[in-house]
Chains A and B, each alone.
Chain A
Amino acid sequence: MKKITSRIWSGIALASAATVVLAGCAAAPTDNATDVPKVDYLACGVSDEGSWQDKSFNQSVYEGLTKSESELGVSIAAAESATPDDFAPNLQSMIDQSCDIIIAVGFNLVDAVNTAASANPTMNFVTVDGWANEGVTNLKPINYAMNQSSYLAGYLAAAQSTTKVVGTYGGMQIPAVTDFMTGFYNGAKAWGTDNATDVTVVGWDPSSEKGDFIGDFTPNSGTSKTIAAGQIEKGADVIFPVGGDQFGAVSEAITESGIDGRMIGVDKDIAAASPEYAQWILTSAEKRMTNAVFDIIKGIAIDGTAFSGDVYLGTLDNGGTALSPITNYTGAAAQADVEAKLAELQAGIVDGSIDPVAVVG
């Protein structure tokens, strides 16, 4: 027994000595000045279920915080929630830190952040994808008109498609998801009207509100792949999956069916964020939460604007949502012509002459 113990200790001692010898030889640095002056402002974030490195909306917000830290010199604090049980305690720990602004990510936190905001009326809160209850004025919702960029994506999808059948499906049938799908549907139909061609959209019908849904947001589940394969079966060669990371499932379905298919990304520029999917990505409908978070923090911490509980709505107009650069386009019309048309449509959406969510007959 004694022998084992002393061996363990000598092993530990040897390992630490080696670490010191191998790693400890560099010269001590002199005081290095930071580029950005420190600002006395503490910006805090609480994640939805899932980590800050989820390659989706949590990460977008977190990058907004880290960008503010490095470019604006504010301090940040962030807490991940593993289960809904963590929402309230995580918010409370941020309140205890006296954060200047507390950003709650995801509509799952909407109850918790409303409770926290009404219990702490002198503090400022932000809810991403949520809303402020009646009378809660210190809670700023960040929302997105995702139908606008999705409309452009639908138009582009129809232009790319050789079968003139395009598909879309969602994680769950909730407004935050169907908003994408309705815009996509209307955009694809608009291309059909412009070119006097019949375009079929499978997976979602805004007038009957029926469509294909996975049932959850599990990345690349078997159900997701089955839906994608079913849509390809119906002739779809461009698919727009609205449910976080479903691109593995769609790309597998495309590969296995042997068609020359494309998919359209959501939330982030998927071709850049996940290069393994880049060869199938036509474009992405981006939800630029990083910018929204950065702009809100910059407005208050640097420019000195007062905090307001008004809704921040990300649109094509303010750049909160947009299409990523088009890649892998092989449609009949020249890409430059389609891009010109998309710019025209974008102007129409911005000035209000095109309504991306209007019910098409």
Chain B
Amino acid sequence: MSTTTEQATTSRVNSAMKEILASGASRAVLSVFLGFVVGALFMVFSNDAFLQSIQYFAAKPGDALGSAWTAIADGYAALFRGSIYNYQAANPVAAFRPITETLRFAGPLIAAALGVALAFRVGLFNIGASGQILFGALWATWISTRVTLPWGIHLIVALLVAILGAAAYGAIVGFLKARTGAHEVIVTIMMNYIAAGILTFFFRTPELLREADGGGTPKSDAPAVTAQLPVLLGPEYTLHWGFVLAIVGVVTYWWIMERSTMGYRFRMVGHNPDAARTAGINVERTFVLAMAVSGAFVGLAAANQALGARAGMTPDIDGTIGFDAITVALLGSSTAPGVLLAGLLFGAFKAGAPAMQAIGLSPEITGVVQGFIVLFIAAPPLVRAIFRLPAPQKTTVVADWWRGIFSRGGAK
């Protein structure tokens, strides 16, 4: 009797281990690891000391290996100092600044990635995050620089306008797809240019949004103090409430996708639009709604950029967020916790890049690491082959246990 119980337990543990190893999450972690390995190679092969010492490798191999190790250690130490904790800082305030910068950069990335992820789950590829950010930021900037409202209300109105602006811009894409069958990839790409053009026009025209005493470049005023997202940890740090907004976004996303009827429809259309239609779901309306909700999440990123600013803004206010968001959504496999973690990682890359540059590393290195992570994510068999991971499992031991914890009544 006891041996059979033991055997059952062992096999349960075995299948649990296999499931964990075969899961998307462990592939994501290993892809990140591989990305760092490739980044390390780039650091080594762009290092002058290494390139010099490799020429006499046969005579003195220690030199080459030593300088290779130093290059990697220095590079990732700089990334750590720039993104987590600066152990070289003069005072504790400065020492903790890197982690706050990571969170600040992660905020808009997470928010925009939630929008892209939502579209992915419905089977849509939203490449238009940068256009949606620009369009949301345009109206948020209008409210924050051209309208006077009391404290509190001003910020809320500006926030809502950013979200609604981006949502409306996304909804247009959904509408065009539902009505005319226009492919959302083409439409969103083109609408990025349109948004950039409109924003530049507004920022350049004095009667619209150009700064009051500007020199003629397209630039807006700084947002009014009443409309700025307040700082989160005191005046020493630039981290503002935009990060909290992104976290609220993550929770909302989880609730919409996993708990609401709307999210159920989204997922159903994403799995199989034909089956969804047969089951009585209005697929066209779901496309429009999904693109609008996707745009609304991207609007949180727009609010981060437009209302988190403390100085005048230029037409490239979206930075590279729109496209980084696609990567973050992919890495996070379009789940709420995945996007949160992937956004934090990419925020850390952004925050750490200046410190890496300061020690003489090329700024492209973090870009290469990010690119390789996506490459490995996109090629599961490659990662499985390198680490000899098991193929995806049919058993559901971990999922059952997980569901047990999170359903009412606790684990059984």
Measured CB to CB, the residues of A under 8 A from B are: 1-2, 4-5, 8, 19-20, 23-29, 44, 49, 77-80, 82-86, 88-90, 92-94, 96-98, 107-108, 111-112, 115, 172-176
Measured CB to CB, the residues of B under 8 A from A are: 52, 54-61, 63-64, 81-82, 86, 88-90, 94, 97, 101, 105, 215-217, 238, 310-314, 316-317, 319-320, 350-351, 353-355, 357-360, 363, 384-386, 388
Q: Once bound together, how far apart are the Cα atoms of A108 and B314, in whole Å?
A: 9
Q: Which of A1, A19, A79 contacts B354 (CB 8 A)?
A: A79
Which 10 A-B residue pairings sit nearest by Cβ, starting from the closest? A24-B57, A93-B354, A83-B319, A111-B311, A79-B357, A28-B56, A174-B216, A26-B55, A24-B58, A28-B60
Q: Which residue of A lies closest to B389 (CB)?
A: A1
Q: What distance in Å separates the Cβ of B249 from its nearest Cβ neighbour in chain A?
A: 19
Q: Which residues of B contact A90 (CB under 8 A)?
A: 354, 357
Of the listed residues B54, B216, B317, B357, the one surrounded by the most CB atoms of chain A closer than 10 A to its CB is B357
Contact A23–B354 (Cβ < 8 Å):
no
Contact B94–A96 (Cβ < 8 Å):
yes
Q: What distance in Å separates the Cβ of A127 from its nearest Cβ neighbour in chain B?
A: 14
Q: With A79-B354, A89-B354, A90-B354 in contact, do A20 and B360 touch (Cβ < 8 Å)?
A: no
Q: Which residue of B lies closest to A44 (CB)?
A: B358
Contact B238–A88 (Cβ < 8 Å):
yes
Q: With A96-B86, A174-B215 in contact, do A24 and B54 touch (Cβ < 8 Å)?
A: yes
Contact B354–A24 (Cβ < 8 Å):
no
Q: Which residues of B contact A176 (CB under 8 A)?
A: 215
* Total A-B contacts with CB atoms under 8 angstroms apart: 111
Q: Once bound together, how far apart are the Cα atoms of A34 and B202, in whole Å?
A: 55
Contact B59–A28 (Cβ < 8 Å):
yes
Q: With A80-B357, A96-B89 in contact, do A173 and B59 touch (Cβ < 8 Å)?
A: no
Contact A77–B386 (Cβ < 8 Å):
no
Q: Which residue of B lies closest to A85 (CB)?
A: B319
Q: Which residue of A lies closest to B53 (CB)?
A: A28
Q: With A80-B363, A172-B216 in contact, do A23 and B358 touch (Cβ < 8 Å)?
A: no
Q: Once bound together, how far apart are the Cα atoms of A52 and B349, in whole Å?
A: 21
Further pairs besides A28-B56, A49-B316, A84-B317: 18, Cβ < 8 Å: A23-B54, A24-B58, A25-B56, A26-B55, A77-B358, A79-B357, A83-B316, A84-B319, A89-B350, A92-B97, A93-B354, A93-B358, A96-B94, A97-B358, A98-B90, A107-B217, A111-B311, A174-B216
Q: Once bound together, how far apart are the Cα atoms of A310 and B360, in whole Å?
A: 30
Contact B216–A175 (Cβ < 8 Å):
yes
Q: What distance in Å separates the Cβ of A132 from its nearest Cβ neighbour in chain B?
A: 15
Contact B59–A27 (Cβ < 8 Å):
yes
Q: What distance in Å separates the Cβ of B366 from its nearest Cβ neighbour in chain A?
A: 11
